[in-house]
Amino acid sequence: MSTKFFREEVDAAVDALLMQQVILYPTDTVWGLGCDAEAPPAVEKVYQLKNRPSNKACIVLVADEAMFARYAAVVPPNLTELLATQTRPTTYVVPGSRLLAPNLLAPDGTIGLRVVLTDEFCSKVVRRLGHGLVSTSANLSGEATPGIYAEINPQLVRKVEYVAHWRQDDATPATPSRVVRVLPDGLLEVLRD
């Protein structure tokens, strides 16, 4: 794929996000539904599209440690070390900040944050957007998580406002991120391995 095509894909995704639209896009793990993490109406659209219960929080992708700190009410003191030693994409569940759309937070006030370290497309989209990017698997609530674009329910594809073309032909099955809760002492509790 060309550099021009890549830039156009990033630009189109960011343009849609800035208009508070919901996008279907390849993440650093599985294909996801996403929107601006600071836009409550867009977050509500994501929940409606998925038929997802509003008490189930979504993950937010961030560009770097500074953006992580922007959305975490409590930043793990060992975050740099955690990121440097993780062997696969990992989502850290921490108390969420007031900058996030309130309807993104779990009932206990936490949010799952993941620094995008390995995927150039996601990283560029998040950096250009300048906000966290909601990431929830591209499936209707209760359906299996699709490992590749071809497995996404066509009904869902038709309902989103923008579909990224980047990596649609990638047939390598992806898996969801590891999810860990950061405990007050800095230790991790594995929620999904």
C-alpha torsion 96→99→104→107, nearest 10: 40
What pLDDT is recorded for position 1?
59
CATH number assigned to the domain comprising residue 60: 3.90.870.10
pTM of the predicted protein model: 0.95
Any idea which residue has 């499936």 for tokens? 139
Largest Cα span, the chain: 46
188 touches 182 (CB < 8 A) = yes
Q: Where are the beta strands (DSSP E) in the chain?
A: 23-26, 31-34, 59-62, 90-95, 110-115, 133-137, 162-163, 178-182, 188-192
- Structurally, how many domains does the chain consist of? 1
pLDDT, tens digit only, all 193 positions of the chain: 589 999 999 999 999 999 999 999 999 999 999 999 999 999 999 999 999 888 888 999 999 999 999 999 999 989 999 999 999 999 999 999 999 999 999 999 999 999 999 999 999 999 999 999 999 999 998 899 988 999 999 999 999 999 999 999 999 888 899 999 998 887 899 999 8
Which residue range(s) make up the domain with 182? Answer: 3-192
pLDDT at 134: 97
pLDDT of residue 187: 85
